[in-house]
Amino acid sequence: MAKKLPEPDVEDIDLTTVLSALADPARRTMLTTMYRGPEPFDCSANTWCADLGINPPTVSHHFRTLREAGLTSTTVDGRARIMRVRRDDLESRFPGLLDAVLGRD
Amino acid sequence: MAKKLPEPDVEDIDLTTVLSALADPARRTMLTTMYRGPEPFDCSANTWCADLGINPPTVSHHFRTLREAGLTSTTVDGRARIMRVRRDDLESRFPGLLDAVLGRD
């Protein structure tokens, strides 16, 4: 059965935590891929380990950091790990921020 | 004689470094004060230590972090420490970022 992993409510999304999560090139690359590409994004099939030159535990750590900061939602369904960027929540909290950060790099 | 402290050239301003500098509430408060208020800002006359509840060395550390990230320019003239936000440089590198981060908190 699909299970949504814990994430902060929209009103609890904190700017310092969001900026800290964004202040990492690998996390920005992950987020940019999701932000620009078709969603939801099945991260079980990702090639990020190879693309980013980082190992699976580090990828998992980055996923968790993004989710706990309120940047992404994650649903686990069997072996699939479905992620999406919380665009609307972020836009309502910090208008223009994701576009400013992920629009370029 | 007035002396401008070292700062990165506009093309060397790095997004990761900028986001790390912004991911601190005290630094954002400092920057927001300068960003919204009349510039340049004489930081020798600031009340930030009391306002932010931090000591002078910590204030100095934050000033340095902001300048080295490319967020501010600092000119020292006698006892005066004149700072300004590098709005145009930041806007040319990361359009909309300062507004998104400092426009609210």
- Digit-coded pLDDT (tens) for B24-80: 999 999 899 888 887 777 776 566 666 777 888 888 899 999 999 999 999 988 878
Q: Does B96 touch chain A (CB under 8 A)?
A: yes
Check CB contact of B42 with chain A, cutoff 8 Å.
no
Q: Do A100 and B104 touch (CB under 8 A)?
A: no
Q: Which helix (H) or strand (E) holds A49?
A: helix A48-52
Residue B79 sits at the chain A interface (C-beta within 8 Å)? no
B66 touches chain A (CB under 8 A): no
- Chain A nearest CA to B79, separation (Å): 32
Nearest CA-CA distance, residue B56 and chain A, Å: 22
Name the residue with higher pLDDT: A34 or B20: B20
- Annotate B10-68 with DSSP letters as a single string: GGG--HHHHHHHHSSHHHHHHHHHHHHS-SSEEGGG--HHHHHT--HHHHHHHHHHHHH
Q: Which two tokens stand for residue B27?
A: 């630094």
Give the fold, CATH level 3, of A3-102.
Answer: Arc Repressor Mutant, subunit A (1.10.10)
Task: Strands of chain A (E only): list them.
Answer: 3-4, 41-42, 72-77, 80-85
Q: What is the pLDDT of residue B95?
A: 96
Distance from CA of A9 to the nearest CA of B (A): 17
Rounded to whole angstroms, the Cα distance separating B83 from B95 reads 21
Q: Is B3 helix (H, G, I), strand (E, B) or coil?
A: strand
Minimal Cβ distance to B19: which of A19, A99, A103: A19
Residues B101, A15: C-beta atoms closer than 8 Å: yes
Mean pLDDT of A79-101: 93
The mean predicted confidence, pLDDT, of chain A is 88
pLDDT at residue A105, rounded to an integer: 46
Question: Six-digit token pair at A48?
Answer: 């990020």
pLDDT of residue B105: 47
